[in-house]
Amino acid sequence: MRKNILVLGILIAFGAPPLHAQTASTSLAGNYLPSVLATSPAHRDSLMEMLKGKPGLPFWVRALVRQPRYVALASEEVSVKDRRMQLFRACEPRTCETSWIRVLYSEDGKRALLYISDAKLGIKIFGDPTPEELAFLTR
């Protein structure tokens, strides 16, 4: 134990980067929508631009960015026509079976596609997905 502390002290003293910062993950899987929206301007801006001024959205969807009060599952990396994309799933707490969304992002987060299913407001699709992209949003 004492030896480990000494080695860690030497690494810090000589300016070694923290161990967790040595490898940056480029995986599009295992991320959570609230965290990605909070840290990625590209993801946040593309989603907000798409939703801006759209009528008939569930309240929790309209508030995705500013009030992240929803259940979010870990993202999944999908390949659409040989392009890496990131698929998120989220739903309204206590009503997940009747009010949920799927968001599909391009690898860089600059293009967002949204599928909303809500028992009261119906199904809405935003972002003009291709047939291949729509297949991932609706599955």
Supply the CATH number for residue 96's domain. Answer: 3.40.1420.10
pLDDT at 17: 42
Is there a contact between 87 and 78 (Cβ–Cβ < 8 Å)?
yes
> Residue 75 domain-assigned?
yes
> Residue 9 domain-assigned?
no
> Residue 33 domain-assigned?
yes
> Residue 94 domain-assigned?
yes
What would the pLDDT profile of 102-136 be if each residue is shown by its tens digit? 999 999 999 999 999 999 999 999 999 999 999 99
pLDDT at 56: 87
**Mean of pLDDT values over 40-53:** 94
> Residue 131 domain-assigned?
yes
Is there a contact between 89 and 137 (Cβ–Cβ < 8 Å)?
no
Is there a contact between 115 and 137 (Cβ–Cβ < 8 Å)?
yes
> Which residue range(s) make up the domain with 106?
27-138
State how many domains the chain has. 1
Q: Which tokens is 97 given? A: 């079976």
